[in-house]
Amino acid sequence: MANRSRILFVDHVSKVLGGAEVNLLELLALPAARERWDIQVACAPDSPLDLALGRLGHVRHPHGFGSALNELRVVGRGFNLLAKLRGWQELRKATERLAKVVAEVRPSVLLSCTNKDHFAAGRVAQSAGIPSVWWVNDILSADFFSWPVRKVFARQARRFATRLVPVSGFGREALLREGIPGDRVKTIHNGIPLDRYRQSAGGNLRTELGIPARTPLIGLVGRITPWKGQDFFVRIAAEWAKADLPGCFLIIGRAFNEDAPFEAAVRETIRQEGLADRVRFVPFQSDIAATLSQLDVLLHCSTKPEPFGRVIIEAMAVGTPVIAARAGGVPEIIRSDAEGALASPGNLSEYRALLAALLTDSGLRDRRIDSGRRAVEQRFTLDRVFADFETLLAGL
């Protein structure tokens, strides 16, 4: 055990378990990772991530940002000069605190999980003379980040990042377009633990919502935010209802505070269109495998390029066929018509035709279920993610 690599993972997120945090938790729960790595984590005390890591028995160290930076969201937003100044001041303070943790832990590498953490960890790692690995879960493009944010990220990455790890080839190309050297960017697609994502007989959404057994359940799962396309999902439901086709459409997830107005607007559209019996809201579900298992179809409706599309492989793993937006990292998951269906983002007629075909052709449905499961087993396992990281770390 003495030759294990000591890795300090860095993730400041304090209120929720987002995709980056779920990926991190599942990786650190893997027996191979626990055997090969001396795992320690710098995270926000008493956060959902901290509590989950505690249940896994990992050593944690306090890390986080003050409200001036912690509540400053950079995706799709601009900031005034005062907000930027306060953010940079808090980043400097957090960097100093993280440096003390590194001096105590003496890791062989820092692996950061969010953009704000990259900036702090990169500087600390350089000062400590150790590699800084940035696990990049976003797309560094104009779809999500302003020009100044992209330039700051690229400048910091060129200066401080030893390796950047985007979760798709599409994400890698975005980093290269910002001038980051290709030999420092390694794609590692997300993966899931297959034993947790199998068809489940549990769950009672139909009973809770009063939906008849033969009515198809068509779901969209994810954070409620404009680019995830819940408003477009409602448009599909409206067209479906006009054609008097059977189906109930479920919006499964929650909105962060800043997206509350968007959720309210979607609910108002449902009311005005008379779709209350057709479109239902379902709160965030902790057992995502059981939730996906109850759906007849998963619709992925993102209107901007998806960094990867984790919910797609989750659905494929449990045997729920998928119709997804052909953008971002999604075509790297669904590579053939047998594995799933792809539609142009926001193209109502394409989604409607693909949904009709899937719900009326049982042979097509069965082929997609079988091929989708095989695709996940062959390309998107958590063991493969660990092996990719092992190879990357060995190269450092």
Is the CATH code 3.40.50.2000 the one for domain 5-191+381-395?
A: yes
Per-residue model confidence as pLDDT tens digits over 214-245: 999 999 999 999 999 999 999 999 999 999 99
Give pLDDT, residue 257: 82
Q: Return the amino acid letter for 128.
A: A
Token representation of residue 248: 């109930």
- Residue 381 DSSP class: B
Residues 6+ apart with CB under 8 A from 16: 48, 256
Strand partners, 164: 134, 185
- Residue 108 DSSP class: S
The domains of the chain are located at: 5-191+381-395, 194-379
Per-residue model confidence as pLDDT tens digits over 353-387: 999 999 999 999 999 999 999 999 999 999 999 99
Which residue is listed with tokens 């953490």?
117
Token representation of residue 251: 């919006």
Pick among 3.40.50.1820, 3.40.190.10, 3.30.1050.10, 3.40.50.2000: CATH of 194-379: 3.40.50.2000
Give pLDDT, residue 248: 97
Positive or negative, the CA dihedral 326, 380, 300, 78 is negative
C-alpha closest to that of 343 among 214, 232, 224: 232
Q: Return the amino acid letter for 357.
A: A
| Cα 72 to Cα 280: distance, rounded to the nearest angstrom | 31
What is the residue-averaged pLDDT of the chain? 93
Please, which pLDDT band fits residue 1 given cuts at 50, 70 and 90? very low
Please, which pLDDT band fits residue 349 given cuts at 50, 70 and 90? very high
Per-residue model confidence as pLDDT tens digits over 171-219: 999 999 999 999 999 999 999 999 999 887 767 889 899 999 899 999 9
Question: Residue 237 burial (CB < 10 Å; 0-12/13-18/19+)?
Answer: buried
Compute how many other C-beta atoms are within 10 angstroms of the C-beta atom of residue 333: 28
Counting every residue, how long is the chain? 396
Instruction: Tell me what percent of the chain is helix, strand and coil, each rounded to the nearest 5.
Output: 50, 15, 35
Average pLDDT (245-259) is 94
How many H-runs (helices) and E-runs (strands) does the chain carry?
16, 12
Per-residue model confidence as pLDDT tens digits over 288-337: 999 999 999 999 999 999 999 999 999 999 999 999 999 999 999 999 99
Ordered alpha helix ranges (H), the chain: 19-29, 31-36, 48-56, 67-70, 81-105, 115-128, 147-160, 169-177, 205-209, 230-242, 260-272, 288-293, 310-318, 348-360, 362-379, 382-395
**Fold agreement between 5-191+381-395 and 194-379:** yes
State CA 373 to chain mean position distance: 20
| Cα 218 to Cα 352: distance, rounded to the nearest angstrom | 12
